Structure 1
Amino acid sequence: MVDKALGTGGRKSDRDLKIRLKTAKGRTTSSTKWLQRQLNDPYVARARSEGYRSRAAFKIKEIDEKQKLFKKGMRVVDLGAAPGGWSQVAAKAVGSTAEHPLIVGIDYLEMDPIPGVILLQKDFTEDDAPDMLFKALGGHKADVVMSDMAWPTTGHRPTDHLRIVHLIEIAADFAIQVLNPGGAFVAKVFQGGTEHELLHMLKRHFRTTMHVKPPSSRSESAEAYLVAKGFKGAEPARAAEDDSDA
């Protein structure tokens, strides 16, 4: 009898257990859907319980688990760092401490301090931002440059795509300037990947390039992540380009 009762409606399905919200006064339908999705998102709950500032922390954790980006003692630059989830993951993975910080994060948004992370409140697209980051590294080269940056969307897909690619180009150019040989570059992309020219450029500078979509990236989202590994070094690549122009 007990089994029969459970099998005929005594137990609610996962769908029935989801939190559902009504559109409140002053709240748009889209914002209501976003809030409902957040309340039902297991990664949001995990982020809170594990002390991460955002669910995005699990994206870089999952990428690292597959791609082995971080090792103890590595120096890492986090572009578009706010609210700081990626920097938190990297700091723990490389053993960064307040006494010996190995992580530098930059964002135009203000962030609360993160142990073991040097934070710069600055728009990375400004001309002096890369120099500020390099100085914050103490003049050392980086082993990983990672970017979760994205422009606010306009709703016009061709425009949004161009702006996103432009951000990746700036981030990739910075990575090529500051990475140690063998280093890695990780960047968020949208709408099916990067432009051919950008991907071609990265293939000249890195031994492997690939697009990945970690499990914590929502299935309905167009986002993916570009991972470039095995940086060849800036000078040899430039020399090869010079030779090809001759």
Structure 2
Amino acid sequence: MGKSSRDKRDIYYRLAKEEGWRARSAYKLLQIDDEYGIFSSDQSSNCHLFCFPPSTENAPLERVVDLCAAPGSWSQVLSKRLWESKSPKDKKSVKIVAVDLQAMAPIPGVIQIQGDITSQDTAQQIIKHFDGKLAQLVVCDGAPDVTGLHDLDEYVQSHLILAAITICSRVLELGGTFVAKVFRGRDSGLLGSQLRLLFSGDVSFAKPRASRNSSLESFVVCRGFMGPRLRTDLKPSTSFENHSSNDSLLLLWYDKDNFEDVNSSQQALLPFIACGDLRGFDPDVTYTLDPDHIVKPPVQVPVDPAYSEVCRFSRLNQSNTSKFQSLEKNNEIDNNDDISRFTELMEKLSFDPREDHL
């Protein structure tokens, strides 16, 4: 496939390169914000009557966590919307923390943590960067490598959401907002019922315009975090004393009984909201390119991606194969030369037996 082919097929991929975004997913977060206003100062105010009040009502949004952040397009959006527009004095109070297992190129105004979102140590690092305070907004655009088996993809993605919710129990303030990618399937209503146990405000599914219609991808937007439902039979002094801080032990703290009590017959019918201008670009449409269109490279190539080792071995294998083929060819030429020289020598040494008899 040529470089210009994807520019034709994916308008948001082309726009992302032209406007300086690292990935097309930046438009998804922008469209969610346009619909829900999650970046506004009163983003925690849509809670119901029984929502725990946020620690600072109508306070400006200053503490945000981006989980599974690489390659960094959502962190770019957070930086531009919450940090770049501030004065030098106000920039100091804005803390944006991006977390991912993979390394990521630096982004202005974004603090990076290369770690596991299920680790207790990662949660402690986030709170440390917030000077002991908790996050007002947590976003997560992470997803596993899709297999094409929708039920399996939905199942694996639900576990990633559980990991994100688990770290939220330690880093998200009361009344905070949570946004995460989901794969909507037959059990998506069950996920909604479980999330309503943790959020007293609006819980709904959002489908950004930049997300393809053919994709199961959507995003769940949850407001009014009610605080962690922690297990009462565990104490920090006893439950963690025999474990490393890098162990994935945050799940031990979650009281899963509330989740297990929700069965398939109690699935919630959540609102499904289309985000973005319907008159805008359609990601499923192929757009023609201008005659003078110049294909631009990606804004930022991945930093030490997981597949780099595979690519290195693949190139090494191709190189070794070429060398082996070249060696075989040279050996074949040498063998032919040896046969020719041997034949020539035999011709010189050949004699007629009758002449020898005479």
TM-score (norm: length of structure 2): 0.52
Residues 77-116 of structure 1, C-alpha deviations (whole Å, 9 max, x = no match): 0001011111111122223677444110011111110001
In the TM superposition, 1:230-241 aligns within 5 A as: 230-234=224-228
Counterpart of 1:70 in structure 2 is 39
SS in 2 for 1:87: helix
Residues 134, 196 of structure 1: alpha-carbon distance in 2 compared, 3 angstrom cutoff? farther
Residues paired across the two proteins, number:
209
Counterpart amino acid of residue 137 in structure 1: F
Displacement of 1:175: 1.7
Residues 162-210 of structure 1, C-alpha deviations (whole Å, 9 max, x = no match): 2110110111122233222221100101142765554223212211100
Q: Retained in 2: the 8 A contact 1:193–1:211?
A: no
Q: Identify the structure with the greater strand proportion.
A: 1
Q: Retained in 2: the 8 A contact 1:73–1:95?
A: no
Counterpart amino acid of residue 119 in structure 1: Q
Runs of 5+ unmatched residues, structure 2: 41-59, 233-254, 262-358
SS in 1 for 2:202: strand
Q: What is the alpha-carbon distance in structure 2 between the residues aligned to residue 49 and residue 194 of structure 1?
A: 38
Match of 2:115 among 119, 122, 125: 122
Counterpart of 2:44 in structure 1 is none
Counterpart of 1:26 in structure 2 is none
Counterpart of 2:129 in structure 1 is 136
Q: What is the alpha-carbon distance in structure 2 between the residues aligned to residue 70 and residue 165 of structure 1?
A: 25
Where relative contact order (Cα < 8 A, 6+ residues apart) is larger, the structure is: 2
In the TM superposition, 1:13-92 aligns within 5 A as: 21=1, 36-71=5-40, 72-92=60-80
User: Which moves more between the two structures, 93-102 or 56-65?
Assistant: 93-102
Q: What is the alpha-carbon distance in structure 2 between the residues aligned to residue 129 and residue 177 of structure 1?
A: 10
Residues 155, 45 of structure 1: alpha-carbon distance in 2 compared, 3 angstrom cutoff? closer
Q: Retained in 1: the 8 A contact 2:154–2:185?
A: no
In the TM superposition, 1:138-217 aligns within 5 A as: 138-192=131-185, 195-206=188-199, 207-217=201-211
RMSD value, Cα = 2.8
Q: What is the alpha-carbon distance in structure 2 between the residues aligned to residue 193 and residue 87 of structure 1?
A: 31
Q: Retained in 2: the 8 A contact 1:142–1:180?
A: yes
Counterpart amino acid of residue 54 in structure 1: A
Runs of 5+ unmatched residues, structure 1: 1-20, 23-31
Q: What is the alpha-carbon distance in structure 1 between the residues aligned to residue 12 and residue 148 of structure 2?
A: 26
Q: Which has the larger radius of gyration?
A: 2
Name the % identity.
38
SS in 1 for 2:98: strand
Counterpart amino acid of residue 192 in structure 2: L
Q: What is the alpha-carbon distance in structure 2 between the residues aligned to residue 160 and residue 108 of structure 1?
A: 20
Counterpart amino acid of residue 134 in structure 2: K
Runs of 4+ in 1 over 4 A off after TM superposition: 96-101, 193-197
Residues 235, 74 of structure 1: alpha-carbon distance in 2 compared, 3 angstrom cutoff? farther
